Amino acid sequence: MSKYAFSRELRLLTPEHYKKVFQQAHRAGSPHLTILARPNNLDHPRLGLAVPKKQIKTAVGRNRFKRIARESFRLKQNDLPASDFVVIAKKSASELSNEELFKLLDKLWHRLSRPSRG
């Protein structure tokens, strides 16, 4: 797998995948977004995105959020544990600049990649 690829195997594709993560998840959050994580049985992390119209009104805004989240995940995937991650946008996420969103995602990835304490 190329370190630059964002292939199908790195994505959560079915509602069942998402349901599993929502059931028992570790979470890292901020006022702008939440990342849920649940260990998987694979040898790599996978990403899912939840960006509701209700939270980010315009398609341009939703697509920008998803693009930045995917890129942030791609850059961090080698440091992340073998888990399924779901990034959930909140209303205020659309007010962040690209740089602020990247920094926030970095911080949350770091928080979720630490070994759990108990």
Angle, vertex CA 23, rays to CA 19 and CA 26, nearest 5: 115
What pLDDT does 47 receive?
A: 95
In a domain, 62, yes or no: yes
In a domain, 80, yes or no: yes
The boundaries of the domain holding residue 31 are 8-113
In a domain, 1, yes or no: no
CA–CA gap between residue 35 and residue 32 (Å, rounded): 10
CA–CA gap between residue 46 and residue 35 (Å, rounded): 12
What pLDDT does 14 receive?
A: 84
- Amino acid letter for position 84: D
CA–CA gap between residue 105 and residue 70 (Å, rounded): 10
In a domain, 74, yes or no: yes
Q: What is the CATH number of the domain that holds 15?
A: 3.30.230.10
Each of the 118 residues of the chain gets a pLDDT tens digit; together they read 444 456 667 888 888 888 989 898 899 999 999 999 999 999 999 999 999 999 999 999 999 999 999 999 999 999 999 999 999 999 999 999 999 999 999 999 999 987 664 4
